[in-house]
Structure 1
Amino acid sequence: MQVDFYHLAAPLDRVLPRIAERVVDGGGRLLVVAGDDALLARLDERLWSYAPESFLPHGRAGADGEADQPVLLSARPEPANGARAIALADGVWREEALGFDRAFHFFDESNVAAARAAWKGLASRDGVERRYWKQDEAGRWTQAA
């Protein structure tokens, strides 16, 4: 399983839609997890409007049709939509992410220490490939580790 750590320099609502789009375009499904309902509401709105020429079909956990959603927003790491990829959107590592094929762990300066602890904790886990991504001055993502 692969865990991608994304050290955010730009707001999450600019980054997450592109990651979600790539997962869905590749035929996958994504579970987006955050413990903050206000953050989930902002992401819900952003996924509808991030690109003027398109939208990304998605829904909220607990709503009708949650199992059919390519992208599901939830407070819990339970893939009601059958997702094999998980995005931890609130900077909090969850061990349940290891049950997925791929995890995207987004964090900013406010939770760097916790992300470092998660990175170190995963170093000795069998079958876990870690990648660390950081934005450069131009806003492009480069793999730092």
Structure 2
Amino acid sequence: MTEVFFYHLQGRPLEAALPQLLEKCLERGWRCVVQASSPERVDSLDQLLWTYDDAAFLPHGTDRQGEPARQPILLTTDDANPNGATVRFFIERATVGDIGGYVRVIHLFDGGDPEEIDHARAQWRAAKAAGHAVAYWQQTPEGRWAQR
């Protein structure tokens, strides 16, 4: 079964948390796909991953660029998996399709947005009903993650 993790963003925004989580995935040798809810958000994430840290590099591309299968991290609005990712990230209420082919699925949601909280709760119920292992992670005041 797929592990489904829910990351409740409270103290730090998505722009600070996502690169950190992607780095950890790449350290484990996992390919990732990040599904956003709009092409504009894909563009902003593309820019973020090039500029978030002067001392770091996250190899990535978007599904609108050539050869998405070669990207260790692929940014998209689509539910396809052209880069053979083992980890799928869903942000900002992106539409969730079949998650059975992934080692891990990660939902990042803004704790200050009631619609994102409701969406995360619905995804939690759906993942549990499908028999997936689910876990909830919450940001501490120091910006670390604690499993609840």
1:105 to 87, 104, 107: 107
- Counterpart-to-counterpart distance in 1, 2:99 and 2:92: 13
Gaps of 5+ in 1: none
Task: Report the residue type matching 1:113 in the other structure.
Answer: D
Aligned mates of 2:53, 2:106 — CA distance in 1: 21
Q: Tell me which residue corresponds to 2:58.
A: 56
SS at match of 1:97: coil
Q: Structure 1 stretches (4+) deviating beyond 3 angstroms?
A: none
Structure 2 stretches lacking a partner, 5+ long: none
C-alpha displacement of 1:8: 0.9
In the alignment, the residues of structure 2 paired with residue 35 and residue 60 of structure 1 have an alpha-carbon distance, to the nearest angstrom, of 14
Of structures 1 and 2, the one scoring higher in RCO (CA 8 A, sep 6+) is: 2
Task: Return the offset for 1:93.
Answer: 5.2
Name the counterpart of 2:4. Answer: 3
Residue 135 of structure 1 is matched in structure 2 by 139
Q: TM-score, normalised by structure 1?
A: 0.91
Give a deviation string over 1:23-80, Cα, whole Å, max 9, x none. Answer: 1121110000012122111111111112211211100003112111100001112111
Cα distance in 2, alignment partners of residues 98 and 14 from structure 1:
28
Bigger Cα displacement from structure 2, 88-97 vs 53-62: 88-97
* Partners of 1:119 and 1:33 in 2: CA distance: 17
In structure 2, what residue type is equivalent to 1:124? A
Q: Distance in 1 between matches of 2:32 and 2:77?
A: 14
2:42 pairs with 1:40: yes
Distance in 1, Cα, partners of 2:15 & 2:98: 23
Please report the RMSD computed on the Cα atoms of aligned residues, expressed in angstroms. Answer: 1.4
TM-score, structure 2 normalization: 0.89
Per the alignment, in what secondary structure is the counterpart of residue 142 of structure 2? coil
Alignment partners' CA distance in 2, 1:29 and 1:99: 13
